[in-house]
Structure 1
């Protein structure tokens, strides 16, 4: 029988983004199995091991929080960087006063979960 592992995860904020919400980030009510697997793989990753989530338990009541933040709309593109490196000059900065937008997120805070795994 394979060994079983249990991991307790806690943090001040969490957002497990729903894919149907394109612009505004809205979290699922609990940690997703893929996020739970990623937490465990960040602690112990080997190519021979695939972790399978068996259960996720929420140890504290879920408390929601609305969060508003500023985001930059554009990116510095790689061709601009290459051109600036070759010529020795160029505009690589982004003026955040002209190129920002406000986004809202619905996240939960005071997160405390218990995750059960076993390797396949």
Structure 2
């Protein structure tokens, strides 16, 4: 553990399979070669989350990039319910490309929201996260892109395999995260804040960044988090 202006903690993430879906493919699932910041944020939120803070991914180290594989499956076109049980379901063939046998190091920060109460300090949440990672506890099963691709998340002590400095690549535009803007325009979504979970109406705006793998690490531009906060705060309900 550490506490500076770049990252607070480092976790080691392992998985037999991972799929970080490219949003430009509407039907077939095609994975990015490396994790997206939103996927790593969601993984940490599955371990520990409170509405008083947010995670910011600083950078991701690629220890094992994994081998790209593909599988074609018959999938349901709509979610099943009690009412639809016993009736013929519409099915379709979908191909999913995924990464086999991956391992990452994720360096991230905890940042408190302005509505956090004075007693809820940065150190308090950092210690709670540390205890959960040490015990292997989590709120939901962490996964790598798809729920069936479960992940093993543990606190990194600085030992073990590290990213190779010979890993370098220019990936190009990659999905960063989604800004949820509550301006009453298009769609409804759930927002978690100090008042709990509430439904608001608004729109979403995806943000992208040019991903570069330099000496085994993907750096996440910090100003993108400022952009999301500014977009959501400007239209806060």
- Compute the TM-score of the two structures, normalised by the length of structure 2: 0.42
1:88 aligns with none
Structure 1 ranges of 4+ moved more than 3 A: 74-78
Mean Cα displacement is larger for which, 66-75 or 39-48?
Answer: 66-75
| Unpaired stretches in structure 2, ≥5 consecutive residues | 112-237
Alignment deviations for residues 27-82 of structure 1 (CA, whole Å, 9 cap, x no partner): 1111110111111111111111111000001101331001111112244579xx4x
| Unpaired stretches in structure 1, ≥5 consecutive residues | 82-90
**How many residues align structurally?**
107
Q: 1:1-120 alignment to 2 at 5 Å?
A: 4-76=8-80, 81=83, 92-96=85-89, 99-120=90-111
Distance 1:116 1:101, change over 3 A: same
- Contact (CA 8 Å) 2:11, 2:106: kept in 1 or not? yes
Distance 1:9 1:94, change over 3 A: farther
Q: CA RMSD in A?
A: 2.1
- Contact (CA 8 Å) 2:29, 2:96: kept in 1 or not? yes
CA distance in 1 between counterparts of 2:9 and 2:91 reads 44
- Compute the TM-score of the two structures, normalised by the length of structure 1: 0.79
Q: Which has the higher contact order (CA 8 A, sep 6+)?
A: 1
